[in-house]
Amino acid sequence: MKNIQSSTTTTITKFTVAINQVNNKRALLPHVLYKKMEGYTLKSVIPFQKFIVSKPALQRINILKNAFLNDELIIKSVVKKLNTNELLIAVEVTKNIQDSSEVICNAVFGIELKGKQFEKAS
Protein backbone atom coordinates (compact mmCIF):
# COMPACT_ATOMS: atom_id res chain seq x y z
CA MET A 1 0.00 0.00 0.00
CA LYS A 2 1.75 3.16 -1.21
CA ASN A 3 1.39 6.24 1.01
CA ILE A 4 0.53 9.13 -1.28
CA GLN A 5 0.28 12.04 1.07
CA SER A 6 0.52 12.92 4.72
CA SER A 7 -1.48 16.10 5.03
CA THR A 8 -2.01 18.46 7.90
CA THR A 9 -4.74 20.44 6.18
CA THR A 10 -7.30 21.46 8.78
CA THR A 11 -10.85 22.52 8.03
CA ILE A 12 -13.21 24.11 10.56
CA THR A 13 -16.94 24.71 10.96
CA LYS A 14 -19.19 25.82 13.83
CA PHE A 15 -22.71 25.06 15.00
CA THR A 16 -24.87 26.07 17.95
CA VAL A 17 -26.75 23.41 19.91
CA ALA A 18 -30.49 23.97 19.33
CA ILE A 19 -33.54 23.01 21.41
CA ASN A 20 -34.47 20.13 19.09
CA GLN A 21 -30.99 18.59 19.53
CA VAL A 22 -31.03 18.17 23.32
CA ASN A 23 -32.57 15.84 25.89
CA ASN A 24 -34.68 16.89 28.90
CA LYS A 25 -31.47 17.80 30.78
CA ARG A 26 -30.52 20.14 27.91
CA ALA A 27 -27.51 17.98 26.94
CA LEU A 28 -26.73 17.40 23.27
CA LEU A 29 -27.98 14.03 22.07
CA PRO A 30 -25.11 11.70 21.05
CA HIS A 31 -26.69 10.74 17.71
CA VAL A 32 -26.95 14.43 16.78
CA LEU A 33 -23.25 14.92 17.52
CA TYR A 34 -22.39 11.85 15.45
CA LYS A 35 -24.51 13.03 12.49
CA LYS A 36 -22.88 16.49 12.61
CA MET A 37 -19.42 14.93 12.58
CA GLU A 38 -20.30 12.49 9.80
CA GLY A 39 -21.86 15.23 7.66
CA TYR A 40 -18.87 17.48 8.22
CA THR A 41 -16.53 14.65 7.25
CA LEU A 42 -18.43 14.20 3.97
CA LYS A 43 -18.05 17.91 3.20
CA SER A 44 -14.36 17.92 4.05
CA VAL A 45 -13.57 15.15 1.52
CA ILE A 46 -15.21 16.82 -1.48
CA PRO A 47 -11.81 17.18 -3.25
CA PHE A 48 -11.57 13.36 -3.26
CA GLN A 49 -15.22 12.78 -4.24
CA LYS A 50 -14.57 11.07 -7.59
CA PHE A 51 -12.28 8.53 -5.88
CA ILE A 52 -14.52 7.67 -2.92
CA VAL A 53 -16.05 4.18 -2.83
CA SER A 54 -17.75 4.23 0.59
CA LYS A 55 -19.44 6.51 3.05
CA PRO A 56 -17.36 7.54 6.07
CA ALA A 57 -17.07 4.61 8.48
CA LEU A 58 -16.54 5.39 12.12
CA GLN A 59 -13.36 3.72 13.30
CA ARG A 60 -13.07 5.28 16.74
CA ILE A 61 -15.02 7.78 18.85
CA ASN A 62 -14.34 9.26 22.28
CA ILE A 63 -17.12 11.32 23.83
CA LEU A 64 -15.38 13.14 26.65
CA LYS A 65 -17.84 15.78 27.86
CA ASN A 66 -21.41 16.91 27.36
CA ALA A 67 -22.40 19.90 25.30
CA PHE A 68 -25.54 21.80 26.26
CA LEU A 69 -28.27 23.96 24.75
CA ASN A 70 -26.88 27.13 23.09
CA ASP A 71 -23.25 25.97 23.29
CA GLU A 72 -21.31 26.95 20.19
CA LEU A 73 -19.32 23.93 19.06
CA ILE A 74 -16.36 23.97 16.70
CA ILE A 75 -15.69 20.96 14.48
CA LYS A 76 -12.19 20.53 13.05
CA SER A 77 -10.88 17.83 10.78
CA VAL A 78 -7.43 16.79 9.67
CA VAL A 79 -6.42 14.27 7.02
CA LYS A 80 -4.45 11.72 9.03
CA LYS A 81 -3.69 9.23 6.28
CA LEU A 82 -4.12 9.16 2.54
CA ASN A 83 -3.03 6.33 0.31
CA THR A 84 -4.36 4.53 -2.76
CA ASN A 85 -6.90 2.52 -0.75
CA GLU A 86 -8.06 4.68 2.13
CA LEU A 87 -8.45 8.14 3.55
CA LEU A 88 -8.49 8.61 7.34
CA ILE A 89 -9.99 11.80 8.75
CA ALA A 90 -9.53 12.81 12.40
CA VAL A 91 -12.41 14.95 13.70
CA GLU A 92 -12.40 16.95 16.93
CA VAL A 93 -15.32 18.82 18.49
CA THR A 94 -14.53 21.60 20.97
CA LYS A 95 -16.30 24.43 22.73
CA ASN A 96 -14.75 27.68 23.85
CA ILE A 97 -14.81 28.42 27.55
CA GLN A 98 -13.53 31.91 28.28
CA ASP A 99 -9.97 31.99 26.89
CA SER A 100 -9.52 28.27 26.32
CA SER A 101 -11.20 25.46 24.43
CA GLU A 102 -12.54 22.22 25.87
CA VAL A 103 -12.59 19.00 23.83
CA ILE A 104 -16.08 17.51 23.75
CA CYS A 105 -15.41 14.62 21.41
CA ASN A 106 -12.89 13.22 18.95
CA ALA A 107 -13.26 10.56 16.30
CA VAL A 108 -11.59 8.94 13.31
CA PHE A 109 -13.51 8.17 10.12
CA GLY A 110 -12.21 5.90 7.36
CA ILE A 111 -13.20 6.17 3.71
CA GLU A 112 -12.36 3.62 1.01
CA LEU A 113 -10.85 4.95 -2.22
CA LYS A 114 -10.69 3.58 -5.77
CA GLY A 115 -7.07 2.44 -5.63
CA LYS A 116 -5.65 2.42 -9.16
CA GLN A 117 -7.79 5.31 -10.45
CA PHE A 118 -6.63 7.49 -7.55
CA GLU A 119 -2.98 6.65 -8.27
CA LYS A 120 -3.31 7.64 -11.96
CA ALA A 121 -4.89 11.00 -11.08
CA SER A 122 -2.18 11.96 -8.56
pLDDT average, residue stretch 22-49: 91
Q: Is the pTM of this model over 0.85?
A: no
Question: With contact defined as beta carbons under 8 Å apart, do 17 and 25 qualify?
Answer: no
Predicted local distance difference test score (pLDDT) of residue 21: 97
Question: With contact defined as beta carbons under 8 Å apart, do 105 and 62 qualify?
Answer: yes
Question: What fold does the segment set 3-121 form as a domain?
Answer: Thiol Ester Dehydrase; Chain A (3.10.129)
- Other beta carbons within 10 angstroms of residue 4's beta carbon come to 16
Q: Round to whole Å and give the CA distance between 103 and 81.
A: 22
Domain residue ranges in the chain: 3-121
E strand or H helix at 84: none
Q: Examine the pLDDT at 50 and tell me if it is beyond 60.
A: yes
**Residue 26: left (phi > 0), alpha (psi -120 to 50), or beta?**
left
Q: Examine the pLDDT at 35 and tell me if it is beyond 60.
A: yes
pLDDT average, residue stretch 63-88: 92
